[in-house]
Amino acid sequence: MAHFPNTPGQTGVLRPLRLEGDILDLEVEGEIPSQLNGTFHRVHPDAQFPPKFENDQFFNGDGMVSMFRFHDGKVDFRQRYAQTDKWKVERAAGKSLFGAYRNPLTDDESVQGMIRGTANTNVMVHAGKLYAMKEDSPCLIMDPLTLETEGYTDFGGKIKNQTFNAHAKIDPVTGNMCNFGYAATGLFTTDCSYFEIDPAGNVLFETFFEVPYYCMMHDFGVTQDYFVLHIVPCTGNWERLRAGKPHFGFDKTLPVWLGVLPRGSGVTGKDMRWFKAPKTIFASHVMNAFQDGTKIHFDVPQAEGNSFPFFPDIHDDSFDPVAALPYLHRWTVDMGSNSEEFSSVTRLTTWIDEFPRLDERYVGQAYRHGWGLVMDPEMPMDFLRGRASGFKMNKIGHWDHATGKEDCWWAGPESIVQEPCFVPRHKDSAEGDGYIIALVDNLITNYSDLVVLDALRLADGPIARAKLPIRLRSGLHGNWADASKLPLAA
């Protein structure tokens, strides 16, 4: 008998789902554009068995992968667990064997030394496979259509790094997957590497480098010529684990850095250049980065203080929910100057926002359009009856960086929204010409809809809703793959 803890993190809207299944031809309201031919994969944390610890972190749940297959104006749904090594041994044991979030000291004797990953953060199609990713472990390979798990890979020994970041990006110019990993040589090490994987799945190079201190390096940027990495003091160490504290804690006495490393083979860690931010802030996800002459722009939602109450201040300062609110900013550094400081930091919005996205055909390039989730505290939030915790993202926002204009769609008083994803109308359509798809979770009726909006006319509301007969758990990240990238029978 599974008994999940009677805690806010495991009950109400955060009750585990644990459901695998298939629904052919979802009920649709409105019209799914018939040229949409491909898949939207996304993932949420969803513990297979009750956690060993009552106060388990949301980020510690096993990866549950959902696929929405769009074709001929229809949408088919499939959902399967990412069968990590952890998932398999726990399945066989019928209970949790791994302990607290990124704390191997709390694991069962029998699983010592095993890969602890949950593959719960992002899923992306590359080289005909679905890569299921978690920043503390290698890449898990799944079939993009059946969602069967093949297992972890080190790409034929070509990636020495023990970890594979969840925010891998495809460079639209080369088609290479650009990614890095931290804690490359073991837990809490400051070793990292940057690598690229070509469209056929071959690793082209791996460049090792060191960071100023160990921290959560959750996302990064790439430009045409550089890998760009922000260092924000959500830090950790073995002492914390021995004391049973959360893996990460915020240390606002440490500086924030932006590292810039040339992309390519023949580069070494010595080629990394570090720029220091004007003050210590919190930032996690990256909308995009690009070069402008010798300047590099790096667009990130930035908060004045720690945004993660579950990774508390290491000096025991109380959590400040106002300082925790992120707003999109542009960081600029100049490779042409001798300065070790940022050139500028500019706020780009008045909206509380996170989960930034772009038209991914412009990754690393000068770009105009960005989208993301917005929390508008002015709108009625009937969904709070469902006890949503954390941020209450109730709108999808669009930022036009060329005009400064903002546009948004409100999901209504009963619903919160999961990370949006841009889909081009056609392969060659102009930047931003296409659709935004996102899961909308009604916390009152307990159903999730996958909504489709015109990306440049969000305020018009959904063109279509593919309706699930269940509500999915809050997810992290997901991506669109055009049918041409899928291993479909000819």
42 to each of 67, 73, 123, 422, how far by Cα in Å?
A: 7, 20, 6, 13
CB of 182 to ligand V55, least distance (A): 11
Q: Please pick, from the candidates 4, 40, 49, 59, the single residue that binds ligand V55 as defined by CB under 6 A.
A: 59
Residue 103 or 442: the one with the smaller Cβ distance to ligand V55 is: 103
Give the position of tokens 């990636």: 159
50 burial via Cβ count (<10 Å: 0-12, 13-18, 19+): middle
How many of the other CB atoms lie within 10 Å of CB of 391? 19
Confirm or reject binding of residue 66 to ligand V55 (CB under 6 A): no
Q: Which residue is nearest to ligand V55 (CB)?
A: 59
CB of 116 to ligand V55, least distance (A): 11
Q: Please pick, from the candidates 39, 103, 121, 306, the single residue that binds ligand V55 as defined by CB under 6 A.
A: 121
| Total interface residues for ligand V55 by CB under 6 A | 9
Tell me, what DSSP letter sits at residue 290? E
Would you state the structure tokens that stand for residue 345, as one six-digit string? 């930091």
Residues 343-372 that bind ligand V55 (CB under 6 A): none
284 burial via Cβ count (<10 Å: 0-12, 13-18, 19+): buried
Residue 135 or 196: the one with the smaller Cβ distance to ligand V55 is: 135
CB of 326 to ligand V55, least distance (A): 11
CB of 49 to ligand V55, least distance (A): 18
Quote the CA–CA distance of 196 and 204 in Å, as a whole number: 6
Confirm or reject binding of residue 284 to ligand V55 (CB under 6 A): yes
DSSP secondary structure string for all residues of 76-137: EEEEEE---HHHHHHHHHTS----STT-GGGS-GGGTTS------SEEEEETTEEEEEBTTS
Residue in 478, 477, 465, 481 with CA at minimum distance from that of residue 427: 481
Q: What is the dihedral of CA 350, 258, 294, 207, to 10 degrees?
A: -140
CB of 71 to ligand V55, least distance (A): 30
Confirm or reject binding of residue 218 to ligand V55 (CB under 6 A): yes
Residues 155-214 that bind ligand V55 (CB under 6 A): none
Tell me whether residue 285 is annotated as binding.
yes
- Within 145-287, strands assigned E span 149-153, 169-170, 177-182, 191-197, 203-210, 221-222, 226-231, 234-235, 249-250, 257-262, 273-276, 282-283
CB of 462 to ligand V55, least distance (A): 27
Tell me whether residue 401 is annotated as binding.
no
Confirm or reject binding of residue 476 to ligand V55 (CB under 6 A): yes
Residue 134 or 401: the one with the smaller Cβ distance to ligand V55 is: 134
Tell me whether residue 218 is annotated as binding.
yes
Residue 15 or 385: the one with the smaller Cβ distance to ligand V55 is: 15
Give the position of tokens 């250049």: 273
Residue 191 or 219: the one with the smaller Cβ distance to ligand V55 is: 219
Residue 309 or 461: the one with the smaller Cβ distance to ligand V55 is: 309
CB of 118 to ligand V55, least distance (A): 8
Residue in 263, 154, 257 with CA at minimum distance from that of residue 207: 263
Residue 62 or 359: the one with the smaller Cβ distance to ligand V55 is: 62
Instruction: Give the dihedral sign, CA 291/282/373/419.
Output: positive
Q: Please pick, from the candidates 120, 165, 235, 442, the single residue that binds ligand V55 as defined by CB under 6 A.
A: 120
Diameter of the chain measured on Cα atoms: 63
Confirm or reject binding of residue 67 to ligand V55 (CB under 6 A): no
Residue numbering of the annotated binding site for Fe cation: 167, 218, 285, 477
Q: Which residues bind ligand V55 (CB under 6 A)?
A: 45, 59, 120-121, 135, 216, 218, 284, 476
Residues annotated in a binding site? 167, 218, 285, 477
